[in-house]
Homo-oligomer: A and B are copies of this chain.
């Protein structure tokens, strides 16, 4: 006797072939003025941190677990990108990879694992493709408002905020246009930052 549910063809779930399912995460950050991705060494070259899914585990849980155990980082808000399903993408067998994006402050990441996204070394599997999708997704987020992923610790000056946006987007922004586009979504603390020459900048936090 069995509790296994059988479908209209009399087949149980496990009568269908089951792929291995992995999660692979592009951890992006801004370091030294440029957008970078965290890569991990593996037997056959660099790769994104990832893991196979555990039994009945949520995908986002697997992402956080893999970041914790493989790179010693507590991830924040994994965002699902898409499934990569090329049957030949992994030479070990039939493996689907669910790609994720997460964003972590550079200070919490190992510096020697950070590579500029515009100048990547060769990666295992289709991980270069995952990085490209993750970068485009993050850039879209940063076009929609001020520092949506919290890469700048508040309170921050307008210049600090703009420099992070420039690093993420990979392009220069006009200071005046940028200011006017974000000011309505910020609140001034009233304090100023004096740390060198020139007029001190006002400090803001997100509204």
Contacts and interface: CB of A to CB of B under 8 A. Distances in A.
Interface of A: 5, 7-8, 13-14, 16-21, 43, 52-59, 80, 82-83, 85-87, 91-96, 98
A13 B21 contact: no
B53 A13 contact: no
Nearest to A98: B83
Contacts of A17: 53-55
A86 B52 CA distance: 17
Most chain B CB inside 10 Å of its own CB: which residue of A13, A43, A80: A13
A82 B59 CA distance: 12
Given A19-B53, A57-B87, A59-B83, 17 more contacts: A5-B92, A13-B94, A14-B20, A16-B20, A16-B52, A17-B53, A18-B18, A18-B19, A18-B20, A18-B21, A21-B21, A55-B94, A58-B85, A58-B86, A59-B85, A80-B82, A82-B82
The 5 A-B residue pairs whose C-beta atoms are closest, nearest first, are: A18-B18, A5-B92, A56-B87, A17-B55, A16-B52
Contacts of A86: 58
Contacts of A55: 17, 94
Contacts of A8: 43
Given A5-B93, A21-B21, A93-B13, A58 B83 contact: no
B80 A83 contact: yes
